[in-house]
Amino acid sequence: MHHFDYRDSELFCEDVPVRTIAEQFGTPVYIYSTATLERHFNVLSEAFSSQACLIAYSVKANSNLSVLATLAALGSGADVVSAGEMQRAIAAGIPPGKIVFSGVGKSEFEIRAALSAGIHQFNVESRPELLRLSRLADDMGKSAPVALRVNPHVEAGGHANISTGAAEHKFGIAWHEAVEVYKLAMTLPGIAVKGVDVHIGSQITKLGPMKTAFEKVVGLIRELRALDIPISRVDLGGGLGIPYKDGETPASPADYAAMVGDVLNDIDIELILEPGRMIAGNAGIFVSRVEYVKERDGRRFAILDSAMNDLMRPALYQAVHEVRPVKRDDALQSLTYDLVGPICESTDRFAKDYSVQELRENDLIAFMSAGAYGAVMSNQYNTRPLCAEVLVKGDKAELIRRAPTFEEMIANERVAEWLKS
């Protein structure tokens, strides 16, 4: 479900024509829909309304301050993986008491910052991290609320590069060592054991693997409680997939909630969820302009003004984002294109042999479902500026990140003294 639809053959975001945004703010540009963000958050929170549940939006999916503030207003918490993300979440109005800090590599600086802020939970991923957290919390006279992220050794995830729950992955504490590390945690100063955390991957469209992992986690919770280890929270991570194409039907939030309810059954526990893509994915599109159409050796290339630096998912995960013309013209035939960017890399290709309405120079196209892991993963390769982001609410559209000027892009660089003669 999203709020990007055609009206009289023009693509709109809510009540604003996409063309108007492209003309006002330039291309390439990310456009987000407030109504879609709100709907996704509310659908999930309603699905879990029967139990105590903190929805800690996974900031990595889309960390723009306005996106975070939109979710903060709905009561969202945040799942962060760096001090920078924590600072953003707090700046956007998410209270530290609703922030969980995940990630395998928390630095001393990050741990101190999170202890000072007074976050809800540290999701600890290893024994050395636990020892470091204990030492720093003890030094600061604090008690760190901790869940251990366990690795349930379950394969899941839409693509090998976004699967995290198997033994080979760097994430979490090995299943067979979990109880031992909990026992150690109970003896450490500065550590308050609170919960169990698990996250097995992203863009998971079938519930089976999640169910298997969550059942194992419930078994672990029972075992820990039997040892008088006070487990009052379970964090089930993120990972629920979204439809990237018309006709795809991944498990719905309601199915997911029913499965979780089933698995948790009679254990009295506070639930934490870390959804990212499910909230932001279909709430954003990425709009580009066609620079050239070039035919060569029997192939037709549409060369765009956007590139792999702006939207990395096709290059990194062979992801296909559905393409829609911003102006639909039924008189035009459908043709097959390779949609590519200007970067000198063969991976700078958004789609191969993609069938779309005939494209001409200066036409605008929208890559759909680009709200999650789009702008956040962009970079300035080829000294291409990070592109603008625009948020729409009803008939209003506002710039929520402007592209840097060339001067800003090089402002932190210096010519070494010895090069200035």
Q: Which residues bind ligand LLP (CB under 6 A)?
A: 58, 61, 79, 102, 162, 199, 202-203, 237-240, 274-278, 313, 317, 372-373
Q: Which lies closer to ligand LLP via its Cβ, residue 207 or residue 290?
A: 207
Q: Which lies closer to ligand LLP via its Cβ, residue 63 or residue 357?
A: 63
Residues 6 or more apart in contact with residue 8 via CB below 8 angstroms: none
Residue 268 corresponds to which tokens in the numbers above? 């009295």
Half-sphere exposure of 274 (CA within 13 A, CB side): 27
**Cα–Cα distance for residue pair 201/163, rounded to 1 Å:** 4
Shortest CB 345 distance to ligand LLP, Å: 18
132 contacts 115 by C-beta, under 8 angstroms: no
**Cα–Cα distance for residue pair 190/124, rounded to 1 Å:** 14
Instruction: Report the interhelical angle of 253-264 vs 208-226 (nearest 10°).
Output: 30
Shortest CB 151 distance to ligand LLP, Å: 12
* 189, amino acid identity: P
Q: Which lies closer to ligand LLP via its Cβ, residue 151 or residue 288?
A: 151
Q: Which lies closer to ligand LLP via its Cβ, residue 38 or residue 197?
A: 197
Local structure of 116: helix, strand or coil:
helix
Residue 219 corresponds to which tokens in the numbers above? 């078994």
Burial track 236-263 (b if 16+ CB lie within 10 A, e otherwise): bbbbbbbbbeeeeebbebeebbebbeeb
* Beta-bridge partner residues of 262: none
42 contacts 74 by C-beta, under 8 angstroms: yes
Residue 413 corresponds to which tokens in the numbers above? 């660089």
Shortest CB 282 distance to ligand LLP, Å: 12
Neighbours of 179 (CB within 10 A): 15
Q: Which lies closer to ligand LLP via its Cβ, residue 25 or residue 57?
A: 57
Shortest CB 404 distance to ligand LLP, Å: 23
Our answer to whether residue 53 is catalytic in this structure is: no
DSSP 8-state assignment for residue 314: H
Residue 44 corresponds to which tokens in the numbers above? 């999930």
Q: Which lies closer to ligand LLP via its Cβ, residue 205 or residue 382?
A: 205
Backbone angles phi, psi at 335, to 5 degrees: -130, 165
**Cα–Cα distance for residue pair 401/387, rounded to 1 Å:** 8
Shortest CB 96 distance to ligand LLP, Å: 18
Shortest CB 58 distance to ligand LLP, Å: 4
Q: Which lies closer to ligand LLP via its Cβ, residue 195 or residue 276?
A: 276
Peptide bond into 28 cis (omega under 30): yes
Residues serving a catalytic function are 344
